[in-house]
């Protein structure tokens, strides 16, 4: 009798274990993305609307995957969500990546970049006819940008100030910067009301601004770097990559496919972007911006090191990478980054 009871208990335990294993196996893996409103993430629009992550995951043997997309207004909020485990992959300007990369180096959950989205300039536009260069700004002028001191616009403005007045004066223009979303800043600039006469924005808002007579460009970010630079990138934690090797491989495959699609025709992604952000622009206009003479849709990280060197020299980041490859995971190390 005791032997029979033991066998029954063992059978129940084994059944429970098998059920648990089956339930675990039946769980659908999940990947959660965070992005911002700019049209500098067109690969993400294609990945979402054409289910490219799911496609590449299925080809790698994962029959189902749950992909969640969320939109954030600030890189700081996205980084907090990433480190708390609320999202898996975030996106933004290169300074956001460098900041969290520096903060997490040497920890059990270090953060690194996945790939770049695009290299294209950002423009500082103004309606003030007296401002032709950054040395023309006075204490009474205001410059609207997405986030004071931490956005890519803020860092590039500091780099430009360092060139104009010397490295010790890199923050000279910080006091006249104002945090404002690109759509709101554009409205303020074009309306001619209020004290916002200059805006350091993002595509396509910067392009819309220049369609209004009297608006002119004060600074092109490519001038600061002496050539092309990456505008937006995505990053994740080493924990997510290590725990999800198949999904990570699917992500890289989807990214490559989306980038190739943009190289052939940007209109499909342009339409997706318009629908996703409810933009009041035509597909032709968005496509025109997306194929501008200085625009490249590429996974290659460009001018990462000059930006890292500047941020490190002024104390914005504590760690200094020896190479751009220190900042990105190995899957893209074969690309000609810089």
Last residue of a domain, one of 198, 225, 252: 225
Q: What is the CATH number of the domain that holds 64?
A: 3.40.190.10
pLDDT at 218: 98
In a domain, 338, yes or no: no
Do residues 116 and 239 both lie within one domain?
A: yes
Q: Distance between CA 182 and CA 125 in Å, rounded?
A: 12
Do residues 308 and 241 both lie within one domain?
A: yes
In a domain, 182, yes or no: yes
Q: Distance between CA 136 and CA 122 in Å, rounded?
A: 19
Do residues 109 and 258 both lie within one domain?
A: yes
Do residues 299 and 209 both lie within one domain?
A: no
Q: Distance between CA 305 and CA 338 in Å, rounded?
A: 6
Over residues 234-266, the pLDDT tens digits come to 999 999 999 999 999 999 999 999 999 999 999
Last residue of a domain, one of 205, 225, 245: 225
pLDDT at 331: 97
Query: pTM higher than 0.85, yes or no?
Result: yes
Do residues 116 and 242 both lie within one domain?
A: yes
In a domain, 337, yes or no: no
Q: Which residue has the tokens 């999202």?
A: 87
pLDDT average per 10 residues of sequence, the chain (338 residues) = 42 38 53 87 96 96 93 79 93 94 93 98 96 96 92 96 97 95 91 88 92 96 96 96 95 98 95 90 94 95 98 97 98 96
Residue 281 is part of which domain span? 30-121+229-332
What is the count of structural domains for the chain?
A: 2
pLDDT at 30: 92
Over residues 305-316, the pLDDT tens digits come to 999 999 999 999
Please report, for residues 41, 68, 99, 233, the alpha-carbon distance to residue 152 in angstroms, rounded to integers and kept in the order given. 15, 26, 11, 11
pLDDT at 75: 72
- Helix axis angle for 94-104 and 304-313, nearest 10°, is 60
pLDDT at 27: 58
Last residue of a domain, one of 225, 246, 269: 225
Do residues 239 and 296 both lie within one domain?
A: yes
pLDDT at 25: 38
Do residues 235 and 112 both lie within one domain?
A: yes
Tokens of 74: 């600030």
């Amino acid at each position: 009798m005791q032997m029979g009871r033991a066998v029954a208990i063992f059978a129940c335990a084994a059944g429970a274990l098998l059920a648990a294993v089956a339930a675990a196996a039946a769980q659908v893996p999940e990947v959660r993305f965070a992005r911002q409103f700019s049209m500098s993430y067109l690969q993400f629009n294609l990945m979402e609307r054409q289910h490219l992550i799911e496609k590449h995951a299925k080809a790698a043997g994962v029959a189902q995957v749950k992909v969640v997309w969320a939109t954030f207004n600030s890189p700081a909020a996205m980084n907090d969500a990433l480190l708390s485990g609320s999202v898996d992959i975030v996106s933004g300007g290169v300074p956001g990546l460098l900041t969290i990369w520096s903060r997490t180096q040497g920890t059990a959950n270090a953060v690194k970049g996945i790939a770049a989205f695009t290299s294209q300039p950002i423009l500082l536009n103004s309606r003030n006819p007296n401002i032709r260069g950054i040395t023309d700004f006075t204490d009474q002028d205001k410059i609207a940008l997405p986030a004071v001191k931490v956005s890519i616009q803020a860092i590039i403005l500091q780099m430009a100030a360092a060139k104009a007045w010397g490295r010790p004066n890199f923050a000279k223009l910080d006091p006249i910067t104002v945090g404002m979303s690109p759509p709101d800043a554009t409205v303020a600039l074009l309306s001619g009301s209020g004290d916002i006469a200059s805006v350091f924005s993002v595509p396509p808002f910067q392009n819309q601004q220049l369609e209004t007579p009297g608006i002119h460009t004060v600074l092109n970010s490519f001038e600061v770097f002496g050539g092309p630079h990456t505008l937006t990138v995505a990053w994740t934690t080493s924990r997510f990559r290590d725990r999800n090797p198949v999904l990570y491989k699917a992500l890289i495959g989807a990214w490559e496919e989306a980038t190739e699609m943009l190289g052939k025709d940007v209109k499909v992604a342009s339409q997706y972007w318009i629908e996703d952000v409810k933009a009041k622009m035509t597909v032709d206009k968005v496509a025109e911006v997306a194929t501008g003479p200085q625009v490249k849709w590429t996974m290659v990280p460009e001018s990462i090191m000059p930006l890292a060197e500047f941020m490190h020299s002024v104390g914005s980041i504590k760690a200094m990478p020896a190479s751009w490859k220190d900042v990105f995971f190995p899957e893209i190390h074969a690309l000609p980054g810089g």
